[in-house]
Amino acid sequence: MADYSFLTTWVLGAERERVWEAIYESERWPEWWPGVEVAERLAEGDERGIGQRGRYVWRSTIPYPVEFEIVTTCVERPHLLEGRATGELEGVGRWRFFEHGGVTAVLYEWNVATTKRWMNALAPVGRPLFRWNHDRVMRAGGHGLARLLGAPLIASS
């Protein structure tokens, strides 16, 4: 398997609770996040949301849909949301939320490995393309979230 570690930061002129809600309600991502083709809840979690399971299909510039499931493993509302991915990508995704003066910084860590043979075979030469594709999807997500919230996207990286 080929391992990838991504770190995305969005800074939005919106309160943390509003940003948290939009990220937490992942089944609504296709409404505002270009590249998310499917986001469906497969199972409810406990009263905090731990154990919630969702199925996701992403497609961006690379004309291949990537499909995986995520089980929520940690919910510390409105500071931290974490899940374990299985499927074509396996690993951990972690959202962290920080607010100061009505401005929210969102940090997303995505530490995954590809499970498809062709992805692993292409990794030595395809890694820059996969990274570029990921960054493009995440940048579009930051802009989509800002539009959804009616808030400025102050920074995105």
pLDDT of residue 122: 87
Number of CB atoms found within 10 A of residue 76's CB: 11
Query: 2-34 burial, b for 16+ CB within 10 Å, e for fewer?
Result: bebebebebbbebbbebbbebbbebeebbebbb
Is this structure's pTM higher than 0.85? Answer: yes
pLDDT at 1 over 90: no
22 Cβ contact list (under 8 Å, min separation 6)? 28, 32, 145, 148, 149
Summarize pLDDT for 56-66 with one digit per residue, the tens: 999 988 888 99
pLDDT at 49 over 90: yes
